[in-house]
């Protein structure tokens, strides 16, 4: 941690000349062409409990229900009951089977009466569902789970927010690191983009930035941003406190592509680690730490979703500066 003297917001070095719209647009375009094999992040793994209530999600206009058996095995499938269409998210899980609350049809996760399960994957932090009708890509057997600090040495927290925009607007916000200390002065200081991506081979932003702990105390780090898929941007801390920690931002469309009022969920996983003494303690108190980590993410995402929503509003009106 470092002490930092006070400085006025308006005296920072402007970044707008470096943050070239074409550079950002090209990076967004390249990201959009990366395959995700029709896999979509739908939320935090710990939100679907073994034997707990089913959860409902909507992805690209498709209703999905998720539940776990008592042993923790995860199931996913269409959210409407195959009998008369009851919302299965309002059903109950009994002995590992999902029981519809209208007339008692029971699903054990296998295909039944016209109900066909969706491939689902629990990566330990997030849940992914494969929806071939939504993705329109070549399906892949497993989702593109980013590399993370080893389980057990990290604290993770998952934050979810919804914005009136499309996934590409969320990605575009993340691929503009230059807005950091201007737009989020409460969280960042002294942001400098050391390297911007040039092409497919070299597609990483390298950023030096100080995270504000308090007004005077900052943690300087180097971070790398890459779009690992059409809807995912990774930030990895490569130097400084917390090195190897990752922040994964996943943008999942909730509405169908034809919807003229799009909604997108931002599912952000922070997997934090540190060599500092005290981090072992932090791990032990992870349940208490999680709400704090989520609160930080919530504040940043309030602003970043305003950015993404603004981009969508301009884009859909054909008024995005190019």
86 binds ligand FES (CB under 6 A): yes
The nearer residue to Fe ion, 97 or 204, going by C-beta atoms, is 204
Is residue 248 within the footprint of Fe ion (CB under 5 A)? no
Locate 63 and state its tokens. Answer: 């209703």
Rule CB under 6 A: choose which of 100, 207, 267, 272 binds ligand FES.
100
* Rounded-to-integer distance, Cα 184 and Cα 144, Å: 30
Confirm if 30 and 115 have CB atoms less than 8 A apart: no
Binding partner at 304 among Fe ion, ligand FES, none, C-beta below 5 to 8 Å by kind: Fe ion
Q: Is 176 in the site for Fe ion (CB under 5 A)?
A: no
Q: Which stretch binds ligand FES (CB under 6 A): 44-52, 100-108, 168-176, 201-209?
A: 100-108
Q: How far apart are the first and last CA of the chain?
A: 39
* Residues from 259 through 318 that contact Fe ion (CB under 5 A): 304
Asked if 301 and 266 touch (Cβ cutoff 8 Å), the reply is yes
Q: Does 83 bind ligand FES (CB under 6 A)?
A: yes
The answer to whether residue 81 forms part of the interface with ligand FES (CB under 6 A) is yes
Residue 169 within binding range of Fe ion, rule CB under 5 A: no
Sign of CA pseudo-dihedral 164, 167, 170, 173? negative
Q: How far apart are alpha carbons 265 and 247 in whole angstroms?
A: 16
Q: How many other C-beta atoms are found inside a 10 Å radius of the C-beta of residue 239?
A: 13
| C-alpha dist (Å) from residue 50 to 39, 77, 121 | 22, 17, 15
Helix (H) or strand (E) holding 222: strand 217-229
Cβ 47 to ligand FES shortest distance, Å = 24
User: Can residue 30 be called a binding residue for ligand FES (CB under 6 A)?
Assistant: no
Can you read off the two tokens belonging to residue 80?
Answer: 């409407």
| Residue among 82 and 224 whose Cβ is closer to Fe ion | 224
Name the minimum Å distance from CB 39 to Fe ion: 25
Q: Does 103 bind ligand FES (CB under 6 A)?
A: yes
| Residue 82 CB, nearest approach to ligand FES (Å) | 7
55 neighbors 47 (Cβ within 8 angstroms): yes
Kindly state the DSSP code that residue 45 receives in the 8-state scheme: G
CB nearer ligand FES, residue 104 or residue 139: 104
Binding site for ligand FES (CB under 6 A): 81, 83-84, 86, 100, 102-105
Binding site for Fe ion (CB under 5 A): 304
């Amino acid at each position: 941690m470092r002490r930092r003297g006070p400085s006025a917001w308006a005296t920072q070095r402007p970044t707008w000349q470096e943050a070239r719209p074409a550079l950002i647009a090209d990076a967004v375009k390249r990201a959009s062409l990366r395959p995700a094999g029709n896999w979509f992040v739908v939320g935090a793994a710990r939100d679907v409990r073994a034997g707990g209530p089913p959860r409902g999600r909507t992805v690209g206009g498709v209703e999905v229900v998720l539940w776990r058996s008592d042993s923790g095995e995860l199931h996913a499938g269409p959210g409407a009951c195959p009998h008369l269409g009851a919302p299965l998210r309002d059903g109950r899980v009994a002995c590992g089977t999902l029981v519809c609350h209208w007339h008692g049809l029971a699903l054990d996760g296998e295909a039944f009466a016209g109900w066909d399960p969706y491939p689902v994957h629990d990566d330990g932090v997030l849940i992914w569902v494969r929806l071939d009708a939504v993705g329109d890509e070549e399906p892949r057997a497993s989702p593109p789970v980013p590399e993370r600090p080893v389980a057990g040495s990290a604290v993770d927290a998952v934050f979810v927010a919804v914005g009136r925009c499309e996934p590409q607007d969320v990605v575009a916000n993340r691929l503009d690191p230059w807005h950091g200390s201007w737009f989020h002065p409460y969280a960042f200081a002294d942001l400098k983009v050391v390297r911007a991506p040039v092409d497919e081979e070299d597609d990483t932003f390298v950023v030096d930035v100080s995270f504000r702990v308090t007004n005077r105390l900052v943690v300087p780090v180097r971070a790398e941003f890459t779009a690992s898929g059409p809807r995912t941007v990774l930030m990895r801390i490569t130097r400084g406190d917390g090195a190897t920690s990752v922040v994964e931002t996943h943008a999942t469309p909730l509405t169908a592509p034809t919807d003229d009022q799009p909604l997108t969920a931002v599912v952000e996983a922070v997997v934090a680690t540190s060599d500092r003494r005290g981090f072992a303690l932090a791990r032990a108190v992870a349940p208490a730490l999680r709400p704090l980590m989520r609160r930080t993410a919530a504040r940043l995402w309030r602003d970043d979703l305003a950015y993404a929503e603004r981009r969508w509003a301009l884009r859909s009106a054909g008024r995005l500066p190019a």
